[in-house]
Amino acid sequence: MQNDANQYMNYYELDFFGLKRKLPLTYISRTKRIANFNILGDVEFTEKAGEEMEKKLREKHLIPDCFVGPGTHIVSFVHHMAKRFHQNRYVLLRKGIRGYMTSPMVEEPWRYAPKHARKLVVNGSDREFLKGKKVILVDDVVSTGATMSIFSNLMRKLGVEVIAKIALFRQGDQYQGDLIYLKQLPIVEDSKKADNDPVDRTKDAV
């Protein structure tokens, strides 16, 4: 009955392997809300997530040469996973070309991709580093799978072998691709949208 109770609240009560967090619920349409999650700055959560994800990967004998993330929103977790696997380097993509980049490579969303989908950019030096490596793609929340698809397409063009895709959460059940995740987040459907709550104030759903 917890989901029913949360339906008319402004937050979702998350139990993450014993850690309790309240995630704000924000609208993505007239009647649908998602629980917004941000790992940045949460050391306790990052360490617990790393511990649980490492168990899953080692059980499946998935040991990458490098962890790769699609943006700075996941930097703390990617960094933590690299340390757990005794790696000295990881790679973060960006959602636009930055001034420090040399010979960047850009992967654009496909024509009819969801509106939240963004291009991903890899720096030239990271391109060279990743060539021929076995990698694990890392994100925080996977919902539609749009970001993960763009992510995978770019890695394929780089000649990188993706041995696993991992996320802290899968949100809803739209994405049915291969994904190792720690917990499920709901999409809450309201019978009537609150008049004072604007639509689309969430960060990019992925």
Residue 3 lies in a domain: no
> Does 103 fall in a domain?
yes
Indicate yes or no: pTM above 0.75. yes
Query: Would you say residue 197 lies in a domain?
Result: no
- CATH code at 160? 3.40.50.2020
Domain that residue 102 falls in: 43-185
Q: Is residue 80 part of a domain?
A: yes
Q: Name the domain count of the chain.
A: 1
If one counts every other C-beta atom within 10 angstroms of the C-beta of residue 115, the result is 10
Contact 41, 61 (CB under 8 A): no
Q: Which residues are registered as beta bridge partners of 11?
A: 24
Does a structural domain hold residue 198? Answer: no
Q: 10 Å Cβ neighbour count for 128?
A: 10
- Residue 191 in domain: no
pLDDT digits (tens, 9 = 90+) for 54-99: 999 999 999 999 999 999 999 999 999 999 999 999 999 999 999 9
| 40 pLDDT above the threshold of 80 | yes
